């Protein structure tokens, strides 16, 4: 329907290499430079995945509905210095271009088909079957763009009795056992303070997409990749799942304590809280020395970790009593060169004031589309010979519709205006 990009027509050999695009010199150090991602995801899991790909240099075209866009645009506090953005949306949508397309119309669907032909990856997080109704399911996309890696992020996958249920982080965490093992020992189940199941699914998806791109580079074939919240949650139970499946051990809530390692939890100090643990007998001995509890080192009840696990109800109260005698700062000074892990329980303000956090420069400031300033937590991974970075701020709704349709599909201003007049785009 639309004219293909000039580079594709003049340089057909580029298509022989699925990861090859015409890219500017300054972007060639980005691992995914030249990879185009068509992103039909909303909320957290999918956008978290596509943000990681964008950090690595992929061109991420975020497709949003013409009425309102990504639901996360309405969540949380607005960014005072960047009108039009919320803090929640901004946390997972940098390095993307926002394009508003009404894919409920045939014209909108054709636009997305054309963009799929010019993309390497398509990511979506709709309930299974929904996009099929709009000619955007895997089977339809495979027919028109067989080299595309098509990643579906769902709540429960495409099989099983729950496959048509919508996916939500806390529901998957509840069904998958995380809430059962999280919270005070004698208290109610608790959710984690951030949507970890969503984020872990996004991380799984990003790795799966990279593996599928590598497979395509070897075989020339695209494929469908499926990631779902429940499977991610189950895989993340690690030792708790293994304890049950192999030893018949039923899990319970331990607060901040560890089921298999003692001591390993949060302790109250004179003015706050401190987390510490000992993963070996030598570490435990050093802890006792620094806390002036040397008699515990020779106590047969605490000789090994197995002994300490069995006698935690004796050991932990004694440690708690001693730790409450000094301030957090005092204990941190005493433990400064200790071989065992320890840290204060920081507030979020204390986190970003921490000298180490400041030194590594993980917080970055970018200029938003309307000229305001916006702070984001940058990528967590560093490369010695590649770029993984914040390149552009989270987009305003529909900010790049005209630009993308013009540069990727080579539409004219008149064609774009006609699509806009027909409510096929925004």
Which residue in 104, 93, 107 sits closest to 37, CA to CA?
Answer: 93
User: What values do phi and psi take at 282, rounded to 5?
Assistant: -65, -40
Distance of alpha carbon 394 from the chain centroid: 16
Which residues 6+ apart lie within 8 Å of 390 measured at CB?
Answer: 55, 94, 95, 364, 366, 376, 378, 379
For the record, the structure tokens of 388 come out as: 């993984």
**Cβ atoms 112, 136 nearer than 8 A:** yes
| Three-class SS of 48-72 | HHHHHHHHCCCEEEEEECCCCCCHH
Gap between the Cα atoms of 102 and 302, Å rounded? 66
Gap between the Cα atoms of 94 and 196, Å rounded? 19
Gap between the Cα atoms of 267 and 255, Å rounded? 11
Active site residues: 198
Going 157 to 161 to 164 to 165, the CA torsion angle's sign is: negative
Gap between the Cα atoms of 266 and 344, Å rounded? 9
Distance of alpha carbon 416 from the chain centroid: 34
Residue written as token pair 């420069």: 361
Residue written as token pair 């987009």: 395
Gap between the Cα atoms of 254 and 274, Å rounded? 17
């Amino acid at each position: 329907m639309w004219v293909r990009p000039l580079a594709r027509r003049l340089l057909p050999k580029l298509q022989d290499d699925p990861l090859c695009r015409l890219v500017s010199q300054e972007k060639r150090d980005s691992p995914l430079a030249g990879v185009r991602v068509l992103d039909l995801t909303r909320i957290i899991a999918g956008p978290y995945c596509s943000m990681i790909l964008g950090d690595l240099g992929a061109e991420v075209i975020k497709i949003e509905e013409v009425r309102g866009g990504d639901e996360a645009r309405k969540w949380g506090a607005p960014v005072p210095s960047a009108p039009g953005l919320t803090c929640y949306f901004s946390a997972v949508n940098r390095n993307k271009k926002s394009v508003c397309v009404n894919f409920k119309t045939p014209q909108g669907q054709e636009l997305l088909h054309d963009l799929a032909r010019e993309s390497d990856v398509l990511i979506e997080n709709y309930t299974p079957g929904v996009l099929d109704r709009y000619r955007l399911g895997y089977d339809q996309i495979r027919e028109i763009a067989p080299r595309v890696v098509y990643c579906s992020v769902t709540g429960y996958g495409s099989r099983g009795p729950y496959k048509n249920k919508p996916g939500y982080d806390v529901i998957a965490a509840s069904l998958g056992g995380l809430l059962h093992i999280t919270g005070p020992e004698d208290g109610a189940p608790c959710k984690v303070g951030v949507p970890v199941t969503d984020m872990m699914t996004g991380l799984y998806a990003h790795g799966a997409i990279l593996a599928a791109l590598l497979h395509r580079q070897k075989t020339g074939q695209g494929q469908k990749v499926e990631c779902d919240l429940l499977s991610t949650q189950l895989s993340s139970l690690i030792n708790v799942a293994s304890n049950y499946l192999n030893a018949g051990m039923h899990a319970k809530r331990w607060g901040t304590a560890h089921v298999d390692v003692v001591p390993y939890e949060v302790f109250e100090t004179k003015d706050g809280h401190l987390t510490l643990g000992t993963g070996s007998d030598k570490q435990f001995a050093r802890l006792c020395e620094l806390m002036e509890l040397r008699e515990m080192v020779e106590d047969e009840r605490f000789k090994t970790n197995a002994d300490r696990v069995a006698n935690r109800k004796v050991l932990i109260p004694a440690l708690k009593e001693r730790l409450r005698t000094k301030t957090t700062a005092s204990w941190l000074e005493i433990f400064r060169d200790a071989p065992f892990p320890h840290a204060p329980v920081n507030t979020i303000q204390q986190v970003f004031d921490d000298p180490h956090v400041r030194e590594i420069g993980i917080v970055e400031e970018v200029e938003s589309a309307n000229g305001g300033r916006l702070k984001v937590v940058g990528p967590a991974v560093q490369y010695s010979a590649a770029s993984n970075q914040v390149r552009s701020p989270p987009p305003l709704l529909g900010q790049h519709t005209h630009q993308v349709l013009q540069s990727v599909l080579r539409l004219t201003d008149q064609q774009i205006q006609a699509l806009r007049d027909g409510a096929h785009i925004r």
